[in-house]
Structure 1
């Protein structure tokens, strides 16, 4: 349906679900800047940006007499969307600037909903920390839409006349294959049978997860109500070249395979410290929940296509969910085994239509039974799994925002019933993973972040040593 400025626009089924109290989700992006923030320049840039040309960013959330949600166009006062913090987040000199920003973001993840008397977005300017925090309600769009929109407002540091390269950069936890890859695979009868089989198996598991099938409890398990618990945010820092070395060492692997292998190894390391051998047997399964971009083109999108009403690559929420299991292994002599197991599992997921099934079944339940049931089923899926993970591959080159060099790009969201949520964004050869934890369940979040960092370094060292041994 096209946008009509004279009438209210109904919310999409996904948008309605994200507004339910149990799943009320806000996406947060932290942009670190090299130089002090110019408030006037930020204000002017926002007024002129593509953001205010996207109808959802200039519309109020309203409800009709039946309680159904709609978007209603309104006039924008940019100053109402700017939250300016001139003072440091904390006065404690022992807290680093990075930890102070993470502390601020962790507090936002639990206790600060967006006001509905204005469009559902705001920009926090942490003046003392040279950091811009963009908060956007998930009802407006998914991570791919929002990152594509943000980058359309930026410029390359080495060529200010050019916008960042966004085509084909990667996917959001992209285990989904491109349309061309799928067409090639379907030419094979055997592959087609695998597609049918894996889709059936994973669809059944997905349905069972929405009812009673649940991960067994570990030291990182959450559950109903945990979304309201106090949070701590840590950053695990990776070097993309290290991930590429590991990727090269495992035939056919992708960066996502490496990332998931790192998560599997890191969780095993952490649980080995936190749990007794009797309480945590070898091979204990922990299931991750991952969001998959369903647009025809993988990765970040061209904003002209996202803004085109006739394009299949539309702005908004266009993703499915995958259930991605990892297994606890205490003593693994070959750390690359974590990547090989991840690749084997993700390859099967690529063959299936699980992500599309989850999208279609969610849309069906929302459209026919309403948001309360759809939200309840999604909430149970989260409660019955162990963690959330996403990955957005950002620009390869350094960029500027309002003429100010960007030092980092990081993303997280409001808390879920999971005790651990991980969002990785890469930028200019680095990859930062924001780890949001319920601190009463995971009190030593710095240790958890270090376990992930150590996992990648061990894999890299093993891969380098193995290559030298072969040579």
Structure 2
């Protein structure tokens, strides 16, 4: 970016030299595939901590030509959030892919629509009008409450240090790009759907001390796509908003029922979704941009992330296996780096699997222990959802997850 005559930062048009953006790393030779897994995770952490150069466009492609335990090679796309949000980047990636089994057939996606279906007429106009007025009053009350909570969270309300949140400091903004470990967990999408159908929600975190989650939301308001060719070209850019969700807690860990925590969290999420705060927060960001320029919106977003314990965002992938440049894609995922949080979560569904990726601050969170706790926590939730959950069963799991 370059300042214009009025001192406002503007994008500067430059030429692109592909060789400046394609990077092929060199790893030690003679290692096992399992050893290459560790080198790959370390490499991801290193490039995630490294800031972009201001002398070239803010994107890179890294080709790791070494086999891991599951794949013969890995391609990494690194893009600055200044260019667009995750929806934009993943849409471009999908456009570059074809179906592995039928290259002439486009990829298809689960049906997802943000357009509410019309409810059938119940024949009673008075009752229908009363319900609408009551619903509008509830939405207005929810909007006022959530807006005040969001303003406090963006400005002064901050989570306390915990086992997954390191102590904040005045210099944290300088240390945004802190070294981190990255791990992924693959869950059966069918099992996740079973729990979601039974409970109406699935929580990615349970049995954690008091904390707030910053949930990133896609604000593109139009009917969802089921075909890769239906992705609109104007979907590019940053069209996301954020929502703060406090996780419920329990004073007695020994008697915790995970279903109670999930139900409480779902109720809180439903109240926030039944409001107009998304559009108001978007207006706040626009106002910050208009009054203080890029620095204003940067400070506002930074404060939002800094005051919450963790970040969660998710994307939906195709139902079929993809092929990139005629090479079958065994799996893919994404993560966000450069945020002032000790732990973040991203998830993507693809080929009937849910890939959950966790980035954890090095030298602060025991990544292996945390991942094992996540695996056991999901099993705990699944068992509780489909069996009679005894109060004291699995206490060791609960203690370790806590």
Normalised-by-shorter TM-score class? 0.7 to 0.9
Structure 1's unaligned 5+ residue stretches are 1-60, 171-177, 269-283, 309-313
- Residue in 2 aligned with 1:180? 116
Q: Supply the distance in 2 between the matched residues of 1:89 and 1:352 (Cα, whole angstroms).
A: 54
Deviation at 1:372, TM superposition (A): 2.4
Deviation at 1:101, TM superposition (A): 2.0
Q: Supply the distance in 1 between the matched residues of 2:372 and 2:353 (Cα, whole angstroms).
A: 16
Change (3 A) 1:360 1:246: same
Change (3 A) 1:125 1:405: same
Q: Supply the distance in 1 between the matched residues of 2:243 and 2:119 (Cα, whole angstroms).
A: 21
Task: Report which structure shows greater RCO (CA 8 Å, sep ≥6).
Answer: 1
Q: Supply the distance in 1 between the matched residues of 2:225 and 2:153 (Cα, whole angstroms).
A: 30
Paired residue total? 368
Question: Greater shift after overlay, 122-131 or 223-232?
Answer: 223-232
Q: Supply the distance in 1 between the matched residues of 2:214 and 2:118 (Cα, whole angstroms).
A: 23
CA RMSD between the two structures = 2.8
Structure 2 counterpart of 1:380, from 303, 312, 316: 303
Structure 2 counterpart of 1:464, from 386, 390, 394: 386
Structure 2 counterpart of 1:319, from 229, 236, 240: 240
**3-state SS, counterpart of residue 295 of structure 1:** coil
**3-state SS, counterpart of residue 263 of structure 1:** coil
Q: Supply the distance in 2 between the matched residues of 1:458 and 1:123 (Cα, whole angstroms).
A: 39
Structure 1 counterpart of 2:75, from 125, 132, 136: 132
Deviation at 1:248, TM superposition (A): 2.1
Change (3 A) 1:440 1:183: farther
**3-state SS, counterpart of residue 192 of structure 1:** helix
- Residue in 2 aligned with 1:207? 151
Does the 8 A contact of 2:91 with 2:231 survive in 1?
A: no
Query: Is 1:369 aligned to 2:292, yes or no?
Result: yes
Change (3 A) 1:182 1:116: farther
Q: Supply the distance in 2 between the matched residues of 1:305 and 1:296 (Cα, whole angstroms).
A: 13
Change (3 A) 1:91 1:263: farther
Change (3 A) 1:142 1:80: same
Does the 8 A contact of 1:320 with 1:357 survive in 2?
A: no
Does the 8 A contact of 2:182 with 2:357 survive in 1?
A: yes
Change (3 A) 1:202 1:298: farther
Deviation at 1:356, TM superposition (A): 1.9
Query: Structure 2 length as normaliser, TM-score?
Result: 0.83
- Residue in 2 aligned with 1:197? 141
**3-state SS, counterpart of residue 205 of structure 2:** helix
Does the 8 A contact of 1:393 with 1:427 survive in 2?
A: yes
Q: Supply the distance in 1 between the matched residues of 2:337 and 2:375 (Cα, whole angstroms).
A: 24
- Residue in 2 aligned with 1:294? 219
Query: Is 1:243 aligned to 2:192, yes or no?
Result: yes
- Residue in 2 aligned with 1:147? 90
Change (3 A) 1:91 1:182: farther
- Residue in 1 aligned with 2:360? 437
Query: Is 1:410 aligned to 2:349, yes or no?
Result: no
- Residue in 1 aligned with 2:51? 113
Change (3 A) 1:91 1:211: farther
Q: Please list the CA deviations of residues 17-43 of structure 1 after superposition, one character each: whole Å capped at 9, or x if unmatched.
A: xxxxxxxxxxxxxxxxxxxxxxxxxxx
**3-state SS, counterpart of residue 410 of structure 1:** coil
Q: Supply the distance in 2 between the matched residues of 1:89 and 1:353 (Cα, whole angstroms).
A: 54
Structure 2's unaligned 5+ residue stretches are 68-72, 121-127, 390-402
**3-state SS, counterpart of residue 116 of structure 2:** helix
Q: Supply the distance in 1 between the matched residues of 2:272 and 2:283 (Cα, whole angstroms).
A: 17
Query: Is 1:392 aligned to 2:315, yes or no?
Result: yes
Q: Supply the distance in 2 between the matched residues of 1:118 and 1:406 (Cα, whole angstroms).
A: 29
Q: Supply the distance in 2 between the matched residues of 1:262 and 1:204 (Cα, whole angstroms).
A: 26
Q: Supply the distance in 2 between the matched residues of 1:89 and 1:360 (Cα, whole angstroms).
A: 50
Q: Please list the CA deviations of residues 335-362 of structure 1 after superposition, one character each: whole Å capped at 9, or x if unmatched.
A: 3233222221111121012222211101
Query: Is 1:101 aligned to 2:101, yes or no?
Result: no
Q: Please list the CA deviations of residues 294-342 of structure 1 after superposition, one character each: whole Å capped at 9, or x if unmatched.
A: 111366696765424xxxxx31000111001113442355332332222
Q: Supply the distance in 2 between the matched residues of 1:403 and 1:205 (Cα, whole angstroms).
A: 49
Q: Supply the distance in 2 between the matched residues of 1:182 and 1:72 (Cα, whole angstroms).
A: 47
Does the 8 A contact of 1:299 with 1:393 survive in 2?
A: no
Change (3 A) 1:181 1:324: farther
Q: Supply the distance in 2 between the matched residues of 1:203 and 1:91 (Cα, whole angstroms).
A: 57
Change (3 A) 1:115 1:183: farther
Q: Supply the distance in 2 between the matched residues of 1:262 and 1:160 (Cα, whole angstroms).
A: 35
Does the 8 A contact of 2:3 with 2:9 survive in 1?
A: yes
- Residue in 2 aligned with 1:420? 343
Query: Structure 1 length as normaliser, TM-score?
Result: 0.71
Structure 2 counterpart of 1:79, from 8, 19, 27: 19
Deviation at 1:364, TM superposition (A): 0.7
Does the 8 A contact of 1:236 with 1:450 survive in 2?
A: no
Deviation at 1:183, TM superposition (A): 10
